[in-house]
Amino acid sequence: MRVEEIKKESAELQDLLRDIPDGIRERCHIKRVSANVNIFHKSEPMEHVYILCEGECDVLAEFKEGYLYVFGKAKGFQLIGEQEVLAGETNSAATVRTKTACRFLLVTTEDFWEWIQHDPHAAIILLKVLARRLHDASSRAGERNYFPSIYLLKKFLLKEYVEAEQENLRIPKARQQIADELGISLRSVQRGVDDLKREGLIKIVKGKIIINRTGYENINKTMDE
């Protein structure tokens, strides 16, 4: 990757690459990936760290039965696969799928490890990224222990509605998938869905949750109750 190309990227990426060794920078390359493509499969050998320059990805848990559920997202400037390299793992810990068309900067795992060892500026940025991720995970874990399941379900619905940017949103996720993402029981999710339907805050069509603008606003009003 040439210096001229770096200058066209986001301020965050330019900052990360500020002191990258010349040889490693020259071996980096841009890769464009269309939507709905798995760039990693869980437990597969990793050859590159993917630095997301543009687009959005889903991070999925994948089980032997073939069941997948989304437990994280990567959007804008993000690193994907760096945790495995720092942990000394050679296989991916999760499945990562592009949600939209994406553009990545690829660095081989060997080059990434060498880069971080010789670039304190990039290492500090990486520490901040990992610390923020750990903080967010700790906050979510605390919520599961403190707040009732109906609160977590409402917060999930509000988040899904905002991110979808649709006037009428059909949530494609199954009840079990929602339960897994929230860390609560399937029974709690089903009971919460029934309560919200009974209160007229959501609709159920062919088994899927439907939420519109009015429902979103009314659910939002109840969050402090």
Q: Give the pLDDT band (50/70/90) at residue 65.
A: very low
Q: Does 141 or 12 have the greater pLDDT score?
A: 12
Give the pLDDT of residue 178.
87
Mean pLDDT in residue range 39-56: 91
Q: Which residues contact 20 (CB under 8 A, 6 or more apart)?
A: 28, 115, 119, 122
**Which domains are delineated in the chain?**
3-143 (2.60.120.10), 147-221 (1.10.10.10)
Q: Which DSSP symbol is given to 91?
A: B
- pLDDT surpasses 50 at 37: yes
How many other CB atoms are found less than 10 A from the CB of residue 90? 12
- pLDDT surpasses 70 at 225: no
- pLDDT surpasses 70 at 62: no
Q: Give the pLDDT band (50/70/90) at residue 170.
A: very high
pTM: 0.63
Q: CA 180, 184, 186 angle in degrees (round to 5)?
A: 75
